[in-house]
């Protein structure tokens, strides 16, 4: 007798991933597609990479839509969410992955203040706008996951206050939104990566050795390992997990 195919856990669902053309976001897009979801994702300034990710999703037999959007612009984020819902007629999963990383010690006279302000606009306001716009459109029993940072609870070096504060705000929103959306069975969680090998934080630099030494496992994580955590939280086995923080950090916070 032949084996009976196992249904894909996200078959028939539609996911929206912000910042899905590179790094952790692209890994999440690919993983959700492999698990059966059709995926809409945003990109900012890399149409070539967005096309590549879109083609990879389509090669898996899923539908894909790449939408250019500046996460710092409220109008762009609202348009992104509504486009996802209008294109596929439903929205089941929202993953807030888009973010920027700007550092600098407080009081530095040479600080690029406009960049710090843009970081707040993307890392906080962009996430808030996406969730507010998606909330009435999400299916009952839907999923919201935001990508944070372990720095929200443990700051390993100076100059990171603005960045980690933006991610700590998202963690607080997550707990609050879980209360707001719980009556509809919608779960809201945050995944907090530690040292993950991306273009923003490559594993082959001198500073990477410092971060690697902080982990229990003694290595960097990979984007696919963060994507696996997201896939669990948006899947059927995580229906009773909400308002939670899941660290994917190799023991950095242990």
Residues catalogued as catalytic = 163
First-residue to last-residue Cα distance in the chain = 47
HSE-CB at 211 with a 13 A cutoff on CA atoms is 23
The residues with which 94 forms a beta bridge, in sequence order, are 16, 144
**Residues 253, 33: Cα–Cα separation, whole Å:** 30
Angle at 172 between CA 169 and CA 173, to 5 degrees: 85
């Amino acid at each position: 007798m032949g084996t009976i195919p196992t249904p894909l856990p996200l078959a028939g669902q539609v996911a929206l991933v912000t910042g899905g053309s590179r790094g952790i976001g692209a890994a999440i897009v690919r993983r959700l597609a492999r698990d059966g979801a059709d995926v809409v994702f945003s990109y900012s300034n890399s149409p070539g990479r967005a096309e590549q990710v879109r083609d990879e999703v389509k090669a898996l037999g899923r539908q894909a839509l790449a939408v250019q959007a500046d996460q710092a612009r409220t109008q762009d984020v609202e348009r992104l969410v509504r486009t996802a819902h209008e294109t596929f007629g439903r929205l089941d999963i929202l993953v807030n992955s888009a973010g920027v990383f700007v550092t600098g010690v407080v009081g530095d006279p040479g600080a690029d203040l406009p960049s710090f302000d843009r970081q707040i606009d993307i890392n906080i306001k962009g996430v808030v706008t996406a969730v507010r716009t998606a909330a009435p459109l999400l299916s009952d029993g839907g999923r919201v996951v935001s990508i944070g940072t372990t720095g929200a609870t443990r700051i390993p070096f100076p100059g990171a206050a603005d960045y980690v504060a933006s991610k700590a705000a998202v963690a607080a929103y997550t707990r609050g939104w879980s209360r707001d959306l719980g009556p509809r069975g919608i779960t809201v969680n945050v995944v907090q990566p530690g040292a993950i090998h991306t273009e923003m934080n490559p594993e082959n630099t001198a500073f990477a050795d410092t971060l690697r030494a902080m982990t229990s496992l003694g290595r960097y994580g990979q984007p696919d390992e963060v994507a696996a955590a997201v896939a669990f939280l948006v899947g059927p086995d995580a229906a009773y997990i909400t308002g939670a923080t899941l660290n994917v950090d190799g023991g950095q916070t242990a």
